Amino acid sequence: MQRCRAPVRRYPQRGSGQGQQGPPYEGVGDGEDVVETETYTVLDVLGEWPEATEADLAHHYPEYGPGGPVAAYWRGEITLRWLRVMAEGLPPTGALARAAAGHHWTHADWAAADSRDLLDMLLVAFANAHRGEKDPAVPWPEPTWRPGDPLPQDTAAVDEEKRAQARAAYERINAQVLPGR
């Protein structure tokens, strides 16, 4: 597997403020930059979600033909560094971003859900502020579903299981306390 050694500039840290000296280690701070190299492979470039990265690269760089830039890399048409640069420049709305986040929601979706929740609360607050004295209060709305929240059918199943466990615990306690049961 091909490896690429990319120079990475690391600048020395100096002390700041009154009474602080320069760096406590030898050879740094004398005006020369510290240059380190990092070695990486194509697996490092593709990251934790190689299929999503490859799909995004093929989608955003169609000029590389069938297979996209990854195939072009394996054919020797582009360098590993150029493949890394393209992978690092992928947009935050592509397949890689969805794979990393675990859902397809964008910032606009989150903002719309927050706006809907706020509007629902404002409407309920307005209705409760202007209701009749003898009218019951309108209950507060449930928040909008978001990724990571349990689905409504999953919530019902969990609630039923909790009720069954509570009933079983109640029966065990009654069996221990009441001798005839």
Percentage of the chain lying above the pLDDT 70 cut? 79
Candidates 104, 102, 84; CA nearest to 93 is: 104
pLDDT at residue 26 greater than cutoff 60? no
Radius of gyration, CA atoms only, the chain = 30
User: What's the CA gap between 7 and 39, in Å, rounded?
Assistant: 9
Confidence class for position 178, pLDDT limits 50, 70, 90 = confident
Task: Let me know: does 154 contact 162? Beta carbons within 8 Å.
Answer: no
| Mean of pLDDT values over 141-163 | 84
Q: Model pTM? A: 0.54
Task: Let me know: does 60 contact 21? Beta carbons within 8 Å.
Answer: no
CB atoms within 10 A of CB 98: 17
pLDDT at residue 2 greater than cutoff 50? yes
Average pLDDT, the chain: 82
